[in-house]
Structure 1
């Protein structure tokens, strides 16, 4: 199914989601099959809301590295049409 043209989408936007491999075990299989694809989401959606749409809790989101278009962002950042959200677990060690 083709996505609507940008000019036809007034209340939504398209974003791309990339989830790192270690996190996939926490994401429902129904969502996992959409990973790497384009999502049609409401305009004004924040990164935190998108993470929740992936099936990850707000608490879990505190231990994630979130990049939009290759730049580290806060969970409260509003996504824009055409953004690419990468979701990684924070890695610690010594």
Structure 2
């Protein structure tokens, strides 16, 4: 099955062909182990790689929050947990 990746925030976004190089084994059944896949692009991405913030950037005023969104078991409508990093030691 062909797989493509798009970068919607890129002007003139085009679909880049890709292939699955690893997956979590999910087949749509309740007991399947995961729904994660690692894709390898067939050509360079049309965007620059993400730049990670320095480790100490998590601390500041106001405290930074990490927000994730997903569909863990029992949350069919999705779930958005929030967390704040502990103060530096």
TM-score bin (small chain) = under 0.3
Give the structure with the larger helix fraction.
1
Higher strand share: 1
Compute the TM-score of the two structures, normalised by the length of structure 1.
0.22
Larger RCO, structures 1/2 (Cα 8 Å, 6+ apart): 1
